[in-house]
Structure 1
Amino acid sequence: MSDVIAALQQQLHRTEAAERRRLLRVLITGSAVRLIILVMFSDLASHYLSGRVELSTPVTNYKRLVEGVHLSQHSTSSPYDGGLFHQSPLLLILFRVLHVLPDLFTNIVYVAVDAAIALTLAKLAAVKAAKSRKAESVPGEIRFVCTPSAIATMYLFNPLTLATTLAKSTIVFSHLAIVSALYAGVSGLANQAIALTAVAAHLSLYPAILIAPIALMVAATSPSEKQQNRRGLVATIALVIAKFAIATGALHVLFAAIFGSQYFMATVDFTLRAADLQPNVGLFWYFFIEIFDEFRPFFFVVFQLTALAFAVPVSWRFRDDPLFAGTMLVGIISALKSYPSWGDLSLFLGLLPLFEELVKYLQYSFLSANLLMYGIGLAPVFWHLWIELGTGNANFFYAATLVYVFGQITLLFDLGGAKLRRELDIRHPETRTRTVVQE
C-alpha cells in the first residue's frame, strides 16, 4: 500500500512540475510576442492603437499620461490644472521615472504587468482548484478542470488583451491591482487585499465596489471562532470596510495635499460626472450629448448608481463563493462604467475560465458570444464610416456600442443563472433533469 501511495505522490510531483514548465513557457511566449511587436512595430502602437477610442479613454490614454508627466516636470502649476490629465498620481510618479529612460523600459513595464496579471490568474486557478476538491459537487458530475497554464494562455493571447497592451492603456495597472486583491483575498491575506483594493479604486474608482466580496473572503478565511456566528461575520466585514475607507482616504488626502483640490476634481469628480463626452464603447457619451442640460445631474446619479448598486446584493447572494461575486462585479464594471474600453472586457473574460464548472449550465453562450463579436467587429467599421469617410453618423457607432454592452449584460445574466442552477443541483440532486420555473 505504501508503494502505491509513493508512486501516486511521484506522479503528482511530475504533473505539477510539467504544469509549472508549461506556465513558464506561456508567460515567456506571451511576453516575447508583446515586446517584439512594441519594438518592431512601434508606430502601430504609438500612432494608431493608442488613439483608438475602443482601447483608450480620457482616463486611460497613454498620450495624455505623457502630457501629464511633461507638465509635472516643466510647469510650476499642478498637472491637473489644464483639464487634460485625469489619471492617478500613482501613475504620474511611476512614469516620471520611466520618462527619463529609453522607450524600451516603458515597453518592458507594460509587458511585465501583463505577465504578472496572467501569473496571478494562474495562481487564482490553483487556489480555486484546491478548494473545489473539498467543496460540494453535483453527484456524478465529471468536471474538466482548467489548468493554470490554460488560464494564463487564454488571458495573454486574447486579442483584446493584446491590443490593450499594445495601445499602452493604463487600465492594465488597475487590472493588476484587481487580480492581486482577489488573490490576496482568497489566500486569506486580509491587509494586502484591502491595500490592493484601495490602490485599484484609486487608479480606476469603480473597483471600490470589490471591497464587498473582498470582505466576505476575509471573513471566510478568518481563523477566529467568532466567525461562526452572524455577529462575528458582520463585525469582520465592518472592520474590513473601515480599513478600506481609511486606506483610500489616506491616499486621497496625501495626493490632495501634494496636488491641491484640482487633483480630486480632475480624477474622481471627472469620472463621476463623465465630463468628457468623447465617444467610447460605453453608454454614457451619446446619452448625455443628446439630453437637455437641466436633466443631466439627475441622470448622472441614476447611471452611476446603476453601476455601484450591485455591489452589496451580488456579493451577498453569492456569499458562499466571494470570488465568483467579485468576477460578476468586474463584469458589471466593464459594462456600466462611465469610461469603458475593450480592456475592461478582457479582464472579465480572463476571470471566466476559473469557473469552468458552469460552462454546461450556460444557456445563452452562443447569443452572448455573437453579440460581443458583432459589437467588437462593427465598432471600428462604423467609426471609419462616421469619422473618416463622413458617410455615417454617431448613431452608427452607438448602435455597435449598444450591441457590445448588451452582449456583456446577457453573459452576466447567463453566468449568474448558471451559478444558481448548479447550486440547486447540489442541494437537490433530484431536480437535475427537471426544468425550474420561477413564479
Structure 2
Amino acid sequence: MILQFSLILLGILLRVAGYHFDLSSFYNQKFEYVTPFTSFDNLIEAVHLMSHGTSPYGGSHFHLPPIYLWLFRWVDQDSYSNWGLRIIFILIDLICCLLLFLIIKQTLLQQKNKMLKQKLERILPVAISSIYFLNPFTITSCLVYCMGNFTRLYILLSIYFAMNANLVLTTFVLSLAAYTEVTPVLLIIPMILYCIKQRSQLFKSKLNISKLNINKNQEKEKEKEQKQKEEKEEKQKKVKKNQKQKKEKKTKQNNNKEKQQNNSKIYLQWFFGLFLFFFWWALLLILSQLMFNSNITNIKTLTKDPNFFQHFFSNSHYFTFLKHTYYFLLNITDLTPNIGLYWYLLTETFVVFRQFLVFTLQFINVVGLIPLTLRFHSYPLFLLAIITSSITILKAYPTLADFPFLFCLLVMQPKLLENTRYRTFFIRGFQVVIGLLSPFYKIWIQDGTGNANYLFGISLSFSFAEILVLMEMIRSAMIVITNEKDKKKEKNSKPYYISTPNKKLHSKKDK
C-alpha cells in the first residue's frame, strides 16, 4: 500500500513539474501526441467561434461531439496556465491508474492456481498500474491536454463495471466512448459476454457461501436422520427399484427445462444489453442536437414550443454535426502526417479508388470480430483486449499515448505472459522505432532534406511491431486454451481395462 501511494505521488509530482516548467507548449507541436481529432487547440477555437455566434463546425478543425463544447465552454486561449484544467487531466490519469489496479487484482482473485496468486498478487497490479501512470507517453498526453484520455477512461470504467456484473453502467459508459469515437461500438459484444460470465460466477459464489454458513447443530441432526433413513431404506430397496426409472425420466425432463430457461435468460441479457447501449447512444445524440440547436438554458422553453419537432429536425447544424464527427473519422478527410498509416496510403492512391480503400480499411475490424468472438467467447476479458488493440492499431489518428494503454490491457492476464517469446526483441525494437519518429519527421518537414517515405517507413515498422505483439499474445492464449482442454479431458476420462476371455488356445497338432 505504501509503495502504491508513493508511486502515485511521484506520477502527480512529475505532471505538476511538467506544467510548472511549461513543457506543454513544447510538446503541443509534436505530431506524436497531437492529432486533428485529439487537439485541444481545436477545441479552444471551436469554443471561441461558438461564443461569437458562429458554428464551431464551420471550418475543418473541430471534430468532437457538441457535449464537449458545453463541458469546456469556460475555456479560453489562456487556459493552458489554468490549474483547474490541469487538475482535471491529472485526475483522469489517476482514475485510470486506480481502475487498472482494481481490475488486475480482481482477475488474480478469480485465478484457480494458488501459486500464481501468491506470486503475482502483490507485484502485478502495482507494476501494471505504475507502468501506465509513470509512462512518459501518458505524462506528455496529460501535459498536452489530449482529448483521447477521455475514451481510455470510459473503456476502463466499462471494464470495471462489467467485472462487477453491472450491465446498466457498462452500457452507459461504453456509449460515452462510442459517442466520442465510433470504433468502440465493436466492444459491446465482449462487454456483454463479460457481464454474463461475471454474473454466473457471482451467483455460484453466493450459493457456495450459503452452503458453508449452515450451523453445526443442523449437520448433526441431519446425520441422525440419515442413520434412521438408512435403516428404512434397506427395507424399502425392493420397492424403490421400480421408482428409480420413473425418477430418471423426470430428472431428464427437468434438466432439459432448466437448460431452456438458462438459454432464454442469456438471450434476454443480450437483448437488454444491446437495447440499453443503443438507447444511451441515441439519448446522447438527441442531447447534443438540443445543445447545438440552442443554448442549454433554453431547452425548457424549446420543449414547451408546439413546433418543437419541426425546429429540432429542420436545423441544418444537425447534419453538420454528424458530418464533422463520425463521417470525418470514418472517411479520413484530414491527411496530416501522424503515427498511423492511412495518411500516406490515401495520398498515394488515385481518387477513383479512395472510397474503396477507406471502406476496406475500416471494415477489417468488423470482419475480425466474428472469428475472434467464436474462438475466445469463454475468455471475454482477453477478447476485449484483442479488439481494443486492433482498433488502436488500425486507428486513423493514433497517438503514442495509446501504446501503454494497449500494453496494459494485453498484460492483464498473467497466464499469457508465461508462453510469450521474443520479449527482449520487442522491447528493443519499440525503443528504436519510437526514438526515430521525431528525427525523421524533422528531416522531412523542418529541414526539407528527406521525403515522406522516411516517416511512413518508421510508422509502418511501429505498427508492424504492435501487430507482432498482438499475434504473440493470441498464440500464447491458444496454448493456454489447449492445455486447459487437455486437463479437462484427463479428469473426465475413466480408467478402462482390457478383458480377455479365459479360454485355452489349442493347436492343430493337439487336436
Which residue of 225, 236, 239 corresponds with 2:272?
239
**Structural mapping, 1:181-330, within 5 Å:** 181-222=158-199, 229-259=262-292, 260=317, 261-330=319-388
**How far 1:371 moved relative to its partner?**
3.4
For residues 78 and 289 of structure 1, the distance between their equivalents in structure 2, rounded to whole angstroms, comes to 29
**How far 1:363 moved relative to its partner?**
2.0
Q: 1:226 to 1:87 in 2, by over 3 A?
A: farther
Q: Does 2:11 correspond to 1:34?
A: no
Q: Does 2:118 correspond to 1:122?
A: no
**How far 1:144 moved relative to its partner?**
3.3
2:458 alignment partner AA: A
Q: How many residues are paired up? A: 405
Between 99-108 and 211-220, report the one with greater CA deviation. Answer: 99-108
The answer to whether the Cα contact below 8 Å between 1:138 and 1:429 also exists between their aligned partners in 2 is no
**How far 1:377 moved relative to its partner?**
1.4
Q: Does 2:27 correspond to 1:49?
A: yes
The answer to whether the Cα contact below 8 Å between 2:109 and 2:117 also exists between their aligned partners in 1 is no
Between 366-375 and 286-295, report the one with greater CA deviation. Answer: 366-375
TM-score by length of 1: 0.86
**How far 1:253 moved relative to its partner?**
2.7
**How far 1:356 moved relative to its partner?**
2.5
For residues 189 and 140 of structure 1, the distance between their equivalents in structure 2, rounded to whole angstroms, comes to 28
SS at structure 1 position matched to 2:364: helix
**How far 1:187 moved relative to its partner?**
1.2
Q: 1:171 to 1:239 in 2, by over 3 A?
A: same
1:157 alignment partner in structure 2: 134
**Structural mapping, 1:107-186, within 5 Å:** 107-132=86-111, 135=112, 137=113, 144-145=120-121, 146-186=123-163
For residues 367 and 267 of structure 2, the distance between their equivalents in structure 1, rounded to whole angstroms, comes to 19
**Structural mapping, 1:362-401, within 5 Å:** 362-401=420-459
Q: Does 2:329 correspond to 1:351?
A: no
TM-score by length of 2: 0.74
The answer to whether the Cα contact below 8 Å between 1:197 and 1:211 also exists between their aligned partners in 2 is yes
1:104 alignment partner in structure 2: 83
Q: Which runs of 5+ in 2 are unaligned?
A: 204-257, 293-316, 490-511
**How far 1:309 moved relative to its partner?**
2.9
Which residue of 71, 83, 102 corresponds with 2:49?
71
**How far 1:228 moved relative to its partner?**
7.7
SS at structure 1 position matched to 2:87: helix
Q: 1:291 to 1:139 in 2, by over 3 A?
A: same
For residues 84 and 431 of structure 2, the distance between their equivalents in structure 1, rounded to whole angstroms, comes to 34
For residues 182 and 382 of structure 1, the distance between their equivalents in structure 2, rounded to whole angstroms, comes to 37
1:61 alignment partner in structure 2: 39
**How far 1:328 moved relative to its partner?**
1.3
Q: 1:419 to 1:138 in 2, by over 3 A?
A: farther
Q: Does 2:70 correspond to 1:93?
A: yes
Could you report, residue by residue, the CA deviation over 1:111-136 in whole angstroms, capped at 9, with x for unpaired residues? 1110010011111112111211xx4x
**How far 1:230 moved relative to its partner?**
4.0
The answer to whether the Cα contact below 8 Å between 1:369 and 1:407 also exists between their aligned partners in 2 is no
Between 338-347 and 106-115, report the one with greater CA deviation. Answer: 338-347
1:5 alignment partner in structure 2: none
For residues 366 and 139 of structure 2, the distance between their equivalents in structure 1, rounded to whole angstroms, comes to 28
For residues 323 and 362 of structure 2, the distance between their equivalents in structure 1, rounded to whole angstroms, comes to 17
Q: Which runs of 5+ in 1 are unaligned?
A: 1-18, 432-439
Q: Does 2:6 correspond to 1:25?
A: yes
Query: Larger Cα Rg: Structure 1 or Structure 2?
Result: 2
For residues 230 and 41 of structure 1, the distance between their equivalents in structure 2, rounded to whole angstroms, comes to 59
SS at structure 1 position matched to 2:32: coil
Q: 1:109 to 1:140 in 2, by over 3 A?
A: closer
RMSD across aligned C-alpha pairs, in angstroms? Answer: 2.5
